[in-house]
Amino acid sequence: MDAQTLLKLLGEGTVQTLIMTLVGTLVSYMIGLPVGVSLITSSPNGIRPMPVYNKVMGFIVNVIRSMPFLILMIAFMPYIRILIGTGIGTAATTAALILAAWPFVARMVEQSLLEVDPGVIEAAQAMGASNMQIIRKVLLLEARPSLLNGAAVATITILGYSAMAGTLGGGGLGDIAIRFGHYRFQPTVMWITIIVLVVLVQIMQEIGIRVAAKLDNRIN
C-alpha cells in the first residue's frame, strides 16, 4: 500500500471513528445522565425515594454493564439490523456503542453526584427549593468538574469500544487495523493505526482535564 492510499484510508477511518465516538457519547449522555440522576434521587436517602424503581433500574444498568462489548454487539446485531437496516458499518456500530455505553455513563454520573456534600442539599431543601431546582442548581452544579472528568473517561472508553468493533466490520480505525494490519499481514498499518488512536485518546483526555480544571476553579 502506497503512502497516499494509506493517508486517505487513515483519514476516512479517523473521521468515522470520531463520528462514532462523539455521536455515541452524546446520545449515551442523553440517556445515561437522567438515569444516573434518577438513581441518586430515587435512592433511600435521595430527595425523592422510589425503592422499586431504584432497584429495577439499577438491575438493568448492572446487567447491561456486565456484558462485554463485543458479545453485546453480536447478541444485538439482529435487532440493530431490523432497526436501522444494517448490522455492520458506522451506523450499526454507533447504535451498539450507545446501547453499551449509557449504563456506564449512568453509573459514572451517579458516582459524581454522590460526591456532593449532603449538607448543601439539606440547606437547599431548608430554603424551599424544589426537587428540580436541587437537581439543576445543586447536584449538577456542584458535581460539574467530576461530571466533566467522567465525560472524558466515557468518551475515551467509547473510543476504545469503537476500535473493538473493527473485528466485526464496524468501520473506523479498528476496522482498518483488522482488515489491513491483521488479515493482510501489514504490521506497519497496524502500528500506525495504534499511534493515531493513542493520539486521539491523549487529545480527548487533555481537553477533558483542562475544561474540568477551569470549571473547578470557577466553583472554588
Q: Are the C-beta atoms of residues 152 and 209 closer than 8 Å to each other? A: yes
Is 3-219 a CATH 1.10.3720.10 domain? yes
Computed over every residue of the chain, the mean pLDDT equals 87
* pTM score of the predicted model: 0.86
- Could you state, in order of their start, the residue ranges of all structural domains in the chain? 3-219
The pLDDT tens digits of the residues spanning 48-63 come to 999 999 999 999 999 9
The pLDDT tens digits of the residues spanning 158-213 come to 998 888 887 777 778 888 888 887 777 788 888 998 899 999 999 988 888 888 77
- 181 by DSSP, 3-state: which? helix
Secondary structure (DSSP) of 101-163: HHHHHHHHHHHHHHTS-HHHHHHHHHTT--HHHHIIIIIHHHTHHHHHHHHHHHHHHHHHHHH
